[in-house]
Amino acid sequence: MSEQVQQTAETGQKKKRILSGIQPTGTFTLGNYIGAVRNWGPLQDEYECFYFIADLHAITVAIEPAELRRKSLEAYAQLLACGIDLEKSLVFIQSQIPTHAQLSWVLNCSTQFGELSRMTQFKDKSAKHPDNINAGLFDYPVLMAADILIYNADLVPVGADQTQHLEIARTIARRFNQRYGETFKIPEGYIPPLGAKIMSLQEPTKKMSKSDTNPNAVILILDDKDTIIRKCKRAVTDSGSEVVYAEGKDGINNLLTIYSTVTGRTIEESVKEFEGQGYGTFKVAVGEAIADHLRPVREEYARLIADKAYLKECYTRCGTEALRQSSRLLSKVYRKVGFVQSEIR
């Protein structure tokens, strides 16, 4: 991150630090990419960005070890393929940085049972996995707080489902600071610039989601060109034939939104382009435009995932720096709570 340090020195202002973790749950959808992921690259020029693969959080639900390893590496490669520059950002794997779990235990002792029991995501996930309501599922907001606080993050990107977790992190930090003196920075929520909202190809009133059981409803960023075109051809539309953006034409509206986004055209320009043409021609054109737009991502991902040695070099280098930075704060925390200083290295 030498370039970033130089930029900071030249401007005389320290960049604010953004931290965000993603669970290794599979390939990003077109909706994930357009709505959020493709905006992460440009953030690097304005902020100091720390991204991590949240594999510790991933084991709160049952997952095969080999699958977790594979998905963690795939998620890492996808982040880099989508434009994260390791000269500007740190991208690391959570489980390789022991300070997260070490701080989490200390923060557990500054967290009230009642606070955790009120977390809505615990209730939701318990309902989805009634046969595996484990302590980690109950306690993972504290680990999430440790993820944030161990790096003194200024900003944390949050969606509607994460505001409660950020709030409990802020509460824990304040409580610790009040008891032991100023230690943690109180993080703020960050609402990132969002791209267009992409809907399901089969149920265009619903958001596109990788958990959709219908594979034709979702375009994945690593789908090949033929697959993307086939899914677009099968996209649900109304009984009309005119390509216009209008109320009641949810399917066509969704395809127009996608086409406009990946081509850089306005909706009006896209409508004019397909004036007098039927849905069939339009759907094929949408599929081709998506495939062409995603081709650099697919090609870069294929290169990265085939070079495991390079990926290892990247996450080891970033992890070493993440451990160095987080260890300084953990040492401060350990000293404040009264642990005997260790000389073990």
Delimit the domains of the chain by residue range. Answer: 2-195+308-337, 215-302
Beta bridge partner(s), residue 163: none
User: What pLDDT, on a 0 to 100 scale, did the predictor assign at position 302?
Assistant: 97
User: What pLDDT, on a 0 to 100 scale, did the predictor assign at position 6?
Assistant: 42
Find out whether 322 and 90 touch, Cβ atoms under 8 Å: yes
Domain 215-302 grouped into CATH 3.40.1000.10: no
Q: For residues 225-253, b (16+ Cβ closer than 10 Å) or e, as one string?
A: eebbbebbeebbbeeeebbeeeeebbbbb
In the block, residue with structure tokens 């294929």:
302
Q: Which sign, positive or negative, has the C-alpha torsion 274, 277, 281, 283? A: positive
Whole-angstrom distance, CA of residue 297 vs CA of residue 221: 8
Summarize pLDDT for 303-338 with one digit per residue, the tens: 999 999 999 999 999 999 999 999 999 999 999 999
Shortest CA distance to 61 belongs to which of 130, 11, 113, 1? 130
User: What pLDDT, on a 0 to 100 scale, did the predictor assign at position 197?
Assistant: 86
Find out whether 235 and 229 touch, Cβ atoms under 8 Å: no
Global pTM?
Answer: 0.89
Beta bridge partner(s), residue 51: 20, 91
Shortest CA distance to 299 belongs to which of 234, 222, 236? 222
User: What pLDDT, on a 0 to 100 scale, did the predictor assign at position 4?
Assistant: 46
User: What pLDDT, on a 0 to 100 scale, did the predictor assign at position 310?
Assistant: 98
User: What pLDDT, on a 0 to 100 scale, did the predictor assign at position 5?
Assistant: 44
Residue 100 backbone dihedrals phi, psi, to 5 degrees: -60, -50
> Which one of the listed residues 207, 225, 332, 336 is annotated catalytic?
207
Find out whether 98 and 326 touch, Cβ atoms under 8 Å: no
Mark whether 231 is an active-site residue: no
> Which one of the listed residues 210, 225, 233, 336 is annotated catalytic?
210
Mark whether 16 is an active-site residue: no
> Which one of the listed residues 15, 71, 88, 125 is annotated catalytic?
125
Residue 19: which H helix or E strand, with range? Answer: strand 17-22
| pLDDT tens, the chain, 345 aa long | 544 444 444 555 789 999 999 999 889 999 989 888 888 888 899 999 999 999 999 999 889 999 999 999 999 999 999 999 999 999 999 999 999 999 999 999 999 999 998 888 787 878 877 888 899 989 999 999 999 999 999 999 876 667 888 999 999 999 999 999 999 999 999 887 667 789 999 999 999 998 899 999 999 999 999 999 999 999 999 888 899 999 989 999 999 999 999 999 999 999 999 998 999 999 999 999 999 999 999 999 999 999 999 999 999 999 999 999 999 999 999 999 999 988 887
Whole-angstrom distance, CA of residue 235 vs CA of residue 255: 9
Mark whether 125 is an active-site residue: yes
* Assigned architecture for domain 2-195+308-337: 3-Layer(aba) Sandwich (3.40)
Ordered alpha helix ranges (H), the chain = 2-11, 30-35, 40-43, 55-58, 65-81, 99-108, 113-117, 120-128, 135-149, 163-180, 225-233, 250-263, 267-273, 279-305, 308-337
Residue 138 backbone dihedrals phi, psi, to 5 degrees: -70, -35
Find out whether 159 and 23 touch, Cβ atoms under 8 Å: no
User: What pLDDT, on a 0 to 100 scale, did the predictor assign at position 36?
Assistant: 82
- DSSP string across 167-198: HHHHHHHHHHHHHH-S-S---EEE-PPP-PPP
Whole-angstrom distance, CA of residue 277 vs CA of residue 284: 12
Q: Which sign, positive or negative, has the C-alpha torsion 151, 154, 158, 163? A: positive
Whole-angstrom distance, CA of residue 129 vs CA of residue 123: 10
In the block, residue with structure tokens 């600071």:
177
User: What pLDDT, on a 0 to 100 scale, did the predictor assign at position 164?
Assistant: 87
Q: What's the angle, vertex CA 270, arms to CA 268 and CA 273, rounded to 5? A: 110
Find out whether 19 and 147 touch, Cβ atoms under 8 Å: yes
